[in-house]
A and B are shown apart, each in its own frame.
Chain A
Amino acid sequence: MKKRNMLLLTFYFLLMAAALIPGVAVSAQQPTPSDDEVNAIARQLYCPVCENTPLDVCPTTACHQWRELIRQMLAEGKSAAEIKQFFMDYYGARVLSEPPRTGINWLVYVVPPVAFLAGVYMLFRAFLTWKRLAKESVTGTDHSSSPGSGSEPDKGSRTAADDEYAIRFEEELRKRQ
């Protein structure tokens, strides 16, 4: 395994060395459409063979081929949407950076907002309940026995609940000492 890699590497090195001999090129040949135009579309697509790698930064040979394919399609005058559609038909939905909005895939877009709104609703309902309870105890309709809880927080409120708390506290202390 290792040996083969070393061989490959040596081969590659030789190739590079050959390439490194200064050439005569004065200016680099710019492809049309330009790399930027290709990358603009490639970055919206994912490599179909390597997982979670956008096509514009994917170093494999296959990805290189796909970028060239995009270039060719652009040269043929295809729009970005058409190219994306082609890639999806050809290589499956996983090349798109988001699931297409069809069928079961709607779930991916619907579930989080619904769950979040359900959370908001539950929280809001809980608030309303707490508020109602607080109001009830202020007006003291049912619990005139627990005096002045709402409006005078300084004195009156420290009765029933506090006794309960104090009793429990003393208990805890006894248990521990």
Chain B
Amino acid sequence: MLAQFGFGVFVLTFLLALFSVGGAVLGYFSKSDRWVETARRAMLLTFPLITLAVLTLTYLLVTGHYELQYVYSVTSNDMPFYLKITALWGGQAGSLVLWSWLMSAFASAVTLRKWERDRELLPWVIVVTSITLAFFLSLSILYENPFARWWQTAAGEFVPHMFAPAGAIPVSPADGQGLNPLLRHPGMIIHPPMLYLGFVAFVIPFAFAIAALVTNRSDDRWIRLTRRWTLVAWLFLSLGLVLGMRWAYDVLGWGGYWGWDPVEISALMPWLTGTAFLHSVMIQEKRGMFKQWNMLLIILTYALVIFGTFLTRSGVLSSVHAFAQSAIGPMFFAFIGITFIISVALLIYRWRDLRAEVEMTSLFSREALFLLNNLLFMGVLIVCFWGVIFPLISELVTGQKVTVGPPFYQRANAPLFGALMALMGIAPLSAWGKSTFQTLGRALWKPSIPSAIVPVVLAILGVRNWIALVGFTLVAFVVFVTMFEFWRGARVRQKRNNENFLVALWQLAGRNRRRYGGYLIHLSMVVMAIGILGMELYQTTTQKTLAVGENIQIAGYTLRYDSLAQFPYTDGRIVTRAVVSVFRGGKYLGELYPRYDYYPNGQPMTIAGVRSTLADDLYVVLVNWENVSVAQAPFKVYHNPLVNWLWIGSLMFVLGFLVAAWPEREEEEREGKI
């Protein structure tokens, strides 16, 4: 009964979303505020309705209603309570529901604001968000219905269906299959919702951009209105990516965090355009330039969000992340086709009205450097996009499948990321508008000197890899420039206001949060770069089968295999766990417990034993695909230098973001200097 209720709510919400689209369009063309207001209220109503459906589904999941196909496929009796809740997004149908829910939450939040001054944008914001919402709801209703239940047909087959097929009788399994073991990890519990939050939040700036295009408002109002949305979307997308990396590192047991898998890349692509957008909107706000470009970027970001979701879910690509092949492909394809074509057509149609108010005058001005930054991000995007798309082209033309793997992306992207780091160092020292080679040079030479010492020191210490030398020099350069900027700004305040240096520093960041928060984010990026450089250039690995008491050596560490034990765990899995002692230079450092778990559904999970320090990680895998016994067990050991800095960097990133986006006091906001 509850399932029918949930489904009914879904259908109702879908109709309501369609109604709000119609109302908004009607209201716009007939200049009827009443219709727009009706549409707005319809839009607002979708959120409580979907919330109701989500709560219903959650209740069904938690109480083990296995007669529902979705509940059956993602939960089981022995799963802990919190996992039953997270099972909401543990499968295709549920994650689409989550998408719709977030979409309607964000759309409601944005339609709730005061609209007096931007009334003309409202109908089109409603249209874009409601169409997106209606599309995702229709997927849930037509193809991926989480409320469909099991039936046994007259022929004896078990089929999931919402309503009884002719002659079928309902069946109710006593237990479900349970959540995919790979998804039973804290990182996995928050990684998908974070990504979805990021994806969905980018729909809001897109909606405003389209509204601005349709109504021909060529000013930057849409950017100012959605600035915070963009930041939030970007934060969640970034966090989603980082958490995904962390999850891969902890759970997948291949000693890395990023495999350049097509699905990872499809989540990275909107991040790339989103980051470019975040930078280039500043130029439009400050200088009125690049309106066309910003429109293009936000349209691209939205398109890539939808495109990435499509790639992951339609069965076009196969990958570790891919959802099982599903019928939603054609419908998704139609949606992609329509939205891409309309957005691009609209942009081309309005292109001439989006001309710049001022033009660029100097190659060394900050806006020029921002443009260069955008170019580099686009370069990375092209590499990624082409790498994902090419196997499809190759298969279509030659019939041969090919793999475009990590070496391709690393080789192509490394110089681009290097250049981006150099820009991170240079750009903060440039000025808007008129900046010449001389003024820029004068600002640059001071932080350049200490950075130039870094490669010398590293070379003396024995680093010979030129990529490492260049990389760490760039890291140092960005760090010095950013510290120099903080120091310079604080000094000026200190002198002028007679403040304590620390107070001055605090005040400085407080007065110009966006700028100094941005610097902190830059710092966090280079800290992450330290970890990435360490992993990419200096990771080593070795594999050996050990008898009890035997050793394995790697990077100055000695690991001794002590014992192996096997025991069942409460949720039905069987754990095989080895004890390994770690020594360095004869000194005992501790024990590690690499293990693998066999779940009742037969899927193995490899959990590495990790010893983590600031300098390096020792990552030990009990190789479950070779023969394991107490007498001898195969181990694969990775030495991952500096990888911890990647996670430290991501924490700094959140801090920087908080500084940049923390709501300002009302008064300051009125001055328009956030």
Q: Which residue of A lies closest to B596 (CB)?
A: A59
Are A99 and B394 neighbours in the complex by a CB distance under 8 Å? yes
Interface size classification for chain B:
35 or more
- A77 interface residue, CB < 8 Å from B? no
Known: A2-B601, A27-B547. A52 touches B319 (CB 8 A): yes
Query: Which of A12-20, A78-86, A140-148 faces chain B?
Result: A12-20
Instruction: Find residues 13-52 in chain A having any chain B CB closer than 8 Å to their own CB.
Output: 13, 16-17, 19-31, 34-36, 39, 46, 51-52
Residues of A within 8 Å of B566, CB to CB, are: 16-17, 20
Known: A23-B631, A39-B541, A119-B379. A99 touches B404 (CB 8 A): yes
- B390 interface residue, CB < 8 Å from A? yes
Give the CA-CA distance A29 to B412 in the complex, in Å. 42
Instruction: Find residues 215-244 in chain B having any chain A CB closer than 8 Å to their own CB.
Output: 219
Give the CA-CA distance A27 to B574 in the complex, in Å. 27
Are A46 and B550 neighbours in the complex by a CB distance under 8 Å? no
Give the CA-CA distance A107 to B625 in the complex, in Å. 37
A132-176 near B? 1/0 per residue, CB < 8 Å: 011000000000000000000100000001000100000010001
Instruction: Find residues 357-415 in chain B having any chain A CB closer than 8 Å to their own CB.
Output: 357-361, 363, 368, 371-372, 375, 378-379, 382-383, 386-387, 390, 393-394, 397-398, 400-408, 412
- A74 interface residue, CB < 8 Å from B? no
- A69 interface residue, CB < 8 Å from B? no
Q: Which residue of A lies closest to B384 (CB)?
A: A112
Q: Which residue of B lies closest to A127 (CB)?
A: B363
Residues of A within 8 Å of B626, CB to CB, are: 64
Are B634 and A2 neighbours in the complex by a CB distance under 8 Å? no
Are B400 and A19 neighbours in the complex by a CB distance under 8 Å? no
Are B398 and A104 neighbours in the complex by a CB distance under 8 Å? yes
Known: A52-B261, A108-B390, A130-B359. A96 touches B543 (CB 8 A): no
Known: A115-B382, A130-B360, A176-B117. A23 touches B630 (CB 8 A): yes
Q: Which residue of B lies closest to A103 (CB)?
A: B398
Residues of A within 8 Å of B398, CB to CB, are: 103-104
- From A2, A5, A57, residue with most partner B Cβ within 10 Å: A57
Give the CA-CA distance A172 to B219 in the complex, in Å. 10
Instruction: Find residues 602-657 in chain B having any chain A CB closer than 8 Å to their own CB.
Output: 602, 604, 606, 624-632, 634, 636
- B48 interface residue, CB < 8 Å from A? no
Residues of A within 8 Å of B383, CB to CB, are: 112
Residues of B within 8 Å of A64, CB to CB, are: 625-626
What is the total number of residues of chain A having a CB less than 8 Å from a CB of chain B? 71
Residues of A within 8 Å of B584, CB to CB, are: none
Name the one of A35, A93, A95 contacting B544, with C-beta atoms under 8 angstroms: A35
Residues of A within 8 Å of B360, CB to CB, are: 126-127, 130
Give the CA-CA distance A110 to B401 in the complex, in Å. 19
Give the CA-CA distance A131 to B405 in the complex, in Å. 42
Give the CA-CA distance A57 to B604 in the complex, in Å. 13
Residues of A within 8 Å of B387, CB to CB, are: 108
Known: A99-B402, A134-B361. A25 touches B544 (CB 8 A): no
Give the CA-CA distance A132 to B408 in the complex, in Å. 39
Give the CA-CA distance A33 to B255 in the complex, in Å. 23
Name the one of B255, B320, B434 contacting A52, with C-beta atoms under 8 angstroms: B320
* Whole-angstrom distance between the Cβ of B261 and the nearest chain A Cβ: 5
* Whole-angstrom distance between the Cβ of A117 and the nearest chain B Cβ: 10
Q: Which residue of A lies closest to B218 (CB)?
A: A168
A98-131 near B? 1/0 per residue, CB < 8 Å: 1110011101110111011001100100110011
Residues of A within 8 Å of B375, CB to CB, are: 116, 119-120, 123
A52-73 near B? 1/0 per residue, CB < 8 Å: 1110011110011000000000
Are B318 and A51 neighbours in the complex by a CB distance under 8 Å? yes
Residues of B within 8 Å of A119, CB to CB, are: 375, 378-379
Are B320 and A12 neighbours in the complex by a CB distance under 8 Å? no
- A75 interface residue, CB < 8 Å from B? no
* Whole-angstrom distance between the Cβ of A136 and the nearest chain B Cβ: 11
Name the one of B361, B368, B393, B600 contacting A9, with C-beta atoms under 8 angstroms: B600
Q: Which residue of A lies closest to B378 (CB)?
A: A119
* Whole-angstrom distance between the Cβ of A121 and the nearest chain B Cβ: 11
Known: A28-B547, A39-B543, A53-B320. A22 touches B403 (CB 8 A): no
Which 7 A-B residue pairs are closest in the complex by CB-CB distance?
A23-B631, A97-B405, A35-B543, A19-B629, A59-B625, A28-B632, A57-B254
Chain A residues engaging chain B, CB cutoff 8 angstroms: 2, 5-6, 8-9, 12-13, 16-17, 19-31, 34-36, 39, 46, 51-54, 57-60, 63-64, 92-100, 103-105, 107-109, 111-113, 115-116, 119-120, 123, 126-127, 130-131, 133-134, 153, 161, 165, 172, 176
Given contact pairs A36-B544, A161-B358, enumerate 17 new A-B contacts (beta carbons under 8 Å).
A2-B175, A5-B602, A9-B600, A12-B598, A23-B629, A28-B631, A31-B545, A54-B259, A57-B254, A93-B402, A96-B402, A98-B403, A99-B402, A116-B378, A116-B379, A116-B382, A123-B375
